[in-house]
Structures are given as C-alpha cells and as structure tokens.
Chain A
Amino acid sequence: MHREKFIERTLLLLALSSIGSLALITIFIFLEGFPLILATGLKNFILSSHWAPTKGHFGILAMIISSVLVTLGAMVLGVPLGLSCAIVLAEFSPKRLKMVLKPTLELLAGIPSVVYGFLGVVWLVPPIRNYLGGPGLSLLAGSIILGIMILPTVISISIDALTAVPDLYRDGSLALGATRWQTVRRVVLPAASSGIITAIILGMGRAIGETMAVIMVAGNALQIPTSILDPVRTLTSNIALELGYAAGRHREALFATGIVLFIIIMILNLSATLITRRR
C-alpha cells in the first residue's frame, strides 16, 4: 500500500513536467524581456517602428505588422486549400482512399521548415522576381510558403471536426432529397464550424510562430510593407537574425519581442481550447 502511494506521487511529479516547463519558459522570457518594456514604455515599444537597437530605439511596430500580414497571406492560401482537402477526405472520398490520402498529406508536417524555406528560395523567389517584380524575397513568398506549411494543421483538425458530425445529420438531409454537396454545405459544415475555426486559429498560431522558412524567403527588410512584393522582417525573424550577436539592452529587446510573440500565440491557443471545450 505504502509503495503504491509512493509510485503515485512520483508519477504526479513527472506529470507536472509539462506545466512546469511551460511555467519556466514564461518566467525566463518575461524576466529577460520585461525590464526593457518597462524602461521603453509599452507604447513606444509596440507602437513605434523605429528599431535601432544600438542607438537605444526599440520599436517593433513594423515587425508586428509584417508578422500579421504574412500570417493573413498564409491563411488566404492555406485555409481554402486545407479545407478543400478536409472536405474531400471526410465527405467525398471512398474509405480506402481516405486511409491512404490522410497519412500521405500528414507527411507534409514532417518536412523541416528549413527545407520549405530552401525550396521557396529555389522555386518561388526567382519567378516572383522575374514575372511580378521586386526583389523576389517578399511578403508574397513568405505567405505562400507559410500557407503550405500550415496545411497539415488545418487539414487534420478540420477532418476530425467533420468526422465528429454524426451520420444521422447527413442521413436526415439526404433523405429530404438534398444532394451530398448541399448536405455538406448546409448541414455538416455548420455543425463542424467550431472545430474548423479551431483548425484555422491553430494554423494562424503555426504561421505567426514560424521562423526559419520566413527568414529564408521573406527578405528581412525592416519596414512597413506597402506592397506584397516588398521584403519584410517578422517578429520571429528579427529574434533569430539578431540573437546571435545581441548583447545588453539589445538582447533584452529581443526577449521583449519574444514576450509579444508569446502573448499572441497564447491568446490564439487559449481561444482555440475554449472554442473546442464549448463544443
């Protein structure tokens, strides 16, 4: 009996490792970055786009805007494409085919982000430069690569949401004479909407947090873009590009950038969890 109690305690301790790690991450990122936000003032930090860390200017507005735009761009490509795949797999394909297609599409998730970035540089950037103009390394290139990278997230969560809709709903609609597509559009999609929204939100989280691929294809210029062909530097790229040599306040500013990113991601994840739970 005594032994069992001891085992239970030990397992509980192990089980606290994930929440413990999360707490440590939060604490250390905030400890490093928060003093700088206090010193600069939150308003100057997130509402100014003057970033000259060696001269004491820490404004990250341009990067926030770039991150948001590149993410929105990724959604424009990734959501329709991902949802189409999910609808086809869940509603229109024979079971056998689905058993093959679903894991195949999930392989996209295993491809490392540096490989996506590299292929973007090789296959995407030159045609953008030659046919559309600009440097090629651009908001557009970043959006396309991120749009592809979020596909596995969008597809697998949407499929789960669609398959969770009871067949009774479909049968009822079909029995009333609706076609399969009418059933999907009027019955299945509305019933699965909260799951699909979760898929989209988690896809956004992935896109805004992605680093390596964006560094490689988005051009990294510090500016508020005026066209989709402009090069941009996102929050994540800025951290990764400068952490290697930053020191002192400059390094603190990068951790402060990390705080902003962390908060955005946590808000996205929390809303996804809340939406799922309500269902």
Chain B
Amino acid sequence: MRLDPHVSQSLVKALLWTLTGFTLLILVFIIVDISVKGLPQVTPGFLSQDPTDMGRAGGIFATIVATAYITALAILLASPLGVGTAIYLTEYTREGWATRIIRFGSECLAGVPSIILGLFGFVLFVMKLGFGWSVLSGGLSLAIMVLPIIIRTSEEAIKAVPRDYRTACYSLGMSQWQTVTRVVLPSALPGITTGIMLSVGRSLGETAVLLFTAGAALRTPVSLFDSGRTMAVHFYILAREGLSMPNAYGTAAVLVISILLINVTAYTLMQRLMKRYS
C-alpha cells in the first residue's frame, strides 16, 4: 500500500518539527537549569570575593581576574594577526596559491581540537620557552585558538564593503593603504568587532587548553608569569571534585550568561553590517 504523498508529507513534517522542537528544548533546558540554580548564588559578594577553602566557600573574584587577563592577552595578540591576514587576503592579493595556503592553514587550525592545542602550548610555552603555567602561556595558546575565528569574520566583513567605496577612493588619488585604513576598515569595523567578540566568548568557555598552559592556581594573577585559574577551569574543578554544587552552579551561570550575551550582541552587530551593505 502506498501512502498518499500529501499524507506522508504531513507525517514527515510533523516528525521534523518535533525533532527541531526537541533540539530547541535542549537549549532552553540548559539555560533555564543553569539560571534557576545558579543565579541565586550570584550575589555582589560572590563576584567580588576570592574563593576560600579550595572554592568550597567564598566567591570567584580571582578567577574573573584571571579570565579577563588571559582573554585580553589572547585577543591583543590574535587581533592584529587575524585582521592583517584578512586585509591581505581581500585587498592585497588575488586568488592563487598563496591565498589557498593561507586559507588552508586557517581552516585546519580551526579544526585542531583544544586538547592538541593544550599539548602544544604545554610543550612549547610552558616547557621549552620556560614561561611555566602562566597567564602568558595561556594567552599565547588561546590566541592561536581564536585566530581562525578572527580571520574568517574579518574577511567576511571586509568583503561586505562595496567595491564602489574603493573605486571612489582610488579616483580621489588615495593609495591602497589609505583606502584600507581610512575607508574599508572603518566600514568593516562592526564585523571585525563581531569576530573579536566571538573570540572572547570562545576564550571564556575554554578549559582543555588552559588547564595545561595557565594552570589552576587560585591566587589572583598579577604578573604575566603568574599562573591563573579561569572561571571555566574553576568550574571544572568544582564540578569534578564535587567541592561545592552551589558554587559550581553560580560559576556556570556567570559563565554561560556572559557568553550568551556576548554571542547575541556579536550576531546582531554582524547582521546590521550585512543589512547595510546588501
């Protein structure tokens, strides 16, 4: 017996929508569970006090500082490299073997799992260069991790700037570099910011890389050579060693909500840029 095509279509559609709804439900569930159990823990004191008794009590201040420190360093290192790469790829060269190699490198780098980056950062920065478990080793390793994100997003943003803008500049006698710095980059800035924000989001949640490069010391890091425990690493240790369920949920809430806010803002910025030039 054959089902009527319209009947089978309705059945399939119902099934597909159910599965899509189920996927959305997973997301909602994650956010609700973390918020409901975590947000009540997030008091001003939780954010401003250092952890005590291995994290069983106290807040997460030291880990916020370490996270900000390491993330800022990673972004500072990766942004010029990433934006520079994007400018080179879009403005200074034609498609050819050079662009192919550069794109291939960036694509492969994006696929390298974080544990491999952790191994690499550990052997090169921590051991061979002697930086030890430190903010510096962690920042350098994270910089490599987010480089592909910045390259891809900046390239997309620069490509979205209309050809006409450049033609107008050249007809005014501007050099290529003047065109790039005075016209193209300012126009592409929202998109480049998106890439940087996405990188911040990615850095906030990273654990495997930092466990072996930045270490897990619970002091507030001051020098670049101090070890620092980021929020994600702290959360991992709290959860895995069962130190404190409430503090684990509180840390997760801060982590997840900041990442989601950053990602939503980044997405909105990019949408606005694309709309303006399409």
- Please list the residues of chain A having a beta carbon within 8 angstroms of any beta carbon in chain B: 3-4, 7-8, 10-12, 14-22, 24-25, 28-29, 32, 80-82, 84-85, 87-89, 92, 101, 103-108, 110-115, 117-119, 121-123, 148, 151, 155, 178-182, 202, 205, 208-212, 215-216, 236, 239-240, 243-244, 254-255, 258, 261-262, 265-266, 268-269, 273
Q: Which of B201-230 contact A (CB under 8 A)?
A: 201-202, 204-208, 211-212
Whether B207 and A113, one on each chain, are in contact in the complex, defined by CB atoms closer than 8 angstroms, is: yes
Q: Chain A residue with minimal CB distance to B248?
A: A118
Cβ of B113 within 8 Å of any chain A Cβ, yes or no, is: yes
> Among the listed B26, B85, B248, B267, which residue makes an inter-chain contact with A14, where contact means beta carbons less than 8 Å apart?
B85
Closest 6 CB pairs of A and B: A209-B113, A19-B105, A112-B205, A14-B84, A84-B19, A181-B9
Q: In the complex, which of the residues B33, B108, B113, B119 contacts A243, with contact meaning CB atoms closer than 8 Å?
A: B119
CA distance A268 to B260 in the complex (A): 29
Q: Is the CB of A7 within 8 A of B177?
A: yes
> Are A212 and B19 neighbours in the complex by a CB distance under 8 Å?
no
Cα distance, A178 to B212, chains bound together (Å): 57
| Contact A255–B23 (Cβ < 8 Å) | no
> Shortest Cβ distance from A116 into chain B, in angstroms?
8
B30 touches A111 (CB 8 A): yes
Flag whether B43 is at the interface (Cβ < 8 A): no
The residue that B239 contacts in the complex, of A108, A111, A114, A243, with Cβ under 8 A, is A114
In the complex, chain B residues 1-59 whose Cβ is within 8 Å of any chain A Cβ:
5-6, 8-9, 12-13, 15-17, 19-20, 22-24, 26-27, 30, 33-34
Name B144's closest neighbour in chain A (CB-CB).
A21
Query: B106 near A18 (CB under 8 angstroms)?
Result: yes
Cα–Cα distance between A10 and B84 once the two chains are bound (Å): 9
Q: Which of B27, B30, B102 contacts A105, CB < 8 Å?
A: B27
Contacts of B240 in A (CB 8 A): 215-216
Measured between beta carbons, the chain A residues less than 8 angstroms from B87 are: 11
Distance in angstroms between the alpha carbons of A210 and B190 in the assembled complex: 31
Query: Does the CB pair B85–A18 fall under 8 Å?
Result: yes
A–B complex contacts, Cβ < 8 Å, 19 sampled: A4-B176, A18-B151, A28-B128, A32-B123, A81-B23, A85-B19, A88-B17, A92-B13, A112-B204, A112-B259, A115-B30, A115-B205, A115-B255, A148-B26, A211-B208, A236-B208, A243-B212, A254-B119, A261-B113
Which residues does chain A contribute within 8 Å of B105, judged by CB atoms? 16, 18-22
- The tally of CB-CB contacts under 8 A between chains A and B is 238
Interface presence of B74 (CB below 8 A): no
Does B114 reach chain A (CB closer than 8 Å)?
Answer: yes
Are A110's CB and B84's CB within 8 A?
no
Flag if B115 contacts A211 (CB, 8 Å). yes
B residues touching A (Cβ–Cβ < 8 Å)? 5-6, 8-9, 12-13, 15-17, 19-20, 22-24, 26-27, 30, 33-34, 80-81, 84-85, 87-89, 92-93, 98, 101-102, 104-109, 111-120, 122-124, 128, 144, 147-148, 151, 175-177, 201-202, 204-208, 211-212, 232, 235-236, 239-240, 248, 252, 255-256, 259-260, 262-264, 267
Q: Which residue from A19, A105, A236, A244 sits with its C-beta under 8 Å from B115?
A: A236
Identify which of B5, B23, B144 gathers the most chain A CB atoms within 10 Å of its CB: B23
Cα distance, A4 to B263, chains bound together (Å): 36
Q: Using A115-B256, A209-B113 as known contacts, say yes or no to A101 and B24 having CB atoms under 8 A apart.
A: yes
Considering only CB atoms, which chain A residue lies closest to B28 in the complex? A104
Of A18, A32, A121, A258, most B-chain CB atoms within 10 Å: A18
B211 surroundings in chain A (CB, below 8 A): 240, 244
Which residues from A are CB-within-8-Å of B176?
4, 7
Nearest residue in B to A258 (C-beta to C-beta)?
B119
Say yes or no: A29 contacts B102, CB within 8 Å. Answer: no
Q: Are A111 and B256 in contact (CB under 8 A)?
A: yes
Note all chain B residues with C-beta closer than 8 A to A8: 88, 92
Known: A18-B151, A80-B19. A239 touches B255 (CB 8 A): no
Q: Which residues of A contact B256 (CB under 8 A)?
A: 111-112, 115
Question: Which of B9, B112, B208 is A240 in contact with, Cβ under 8 Å?
Answer: B208
| Nearest Cβ on chain B to A217's Cβ, whole angstroms | 11
A22, A85, A209 — which one has the most chain B CB atoms within 10 A of its CB? Answer: A22
Nearest chain B CB to A82 CB, angstrom units: 8
- A11 and B108 in contact, given A92-B13, A108-B27 (Cβ under 8 angstroms): no
Given A18-B151, A180-B9, A265-B112, decide whether A121 and B239 contact each other with a Cβ distance below 8 A.
yes
A181 touches which one: B12, B85, B235, B252 (CB < 8 A)? B12
State whether A85 touches B23 (Cβ < 8 A).
yes
Whole-angstrom CA separation of A102 from B168 in the bound complex: 36
Chain A minimum-CB-distance residue to B252: A115
Q: A19-B105, A84-B19, A111-B205 are in contact. Are A179 and B260 (CB under 8 A)?
A: no
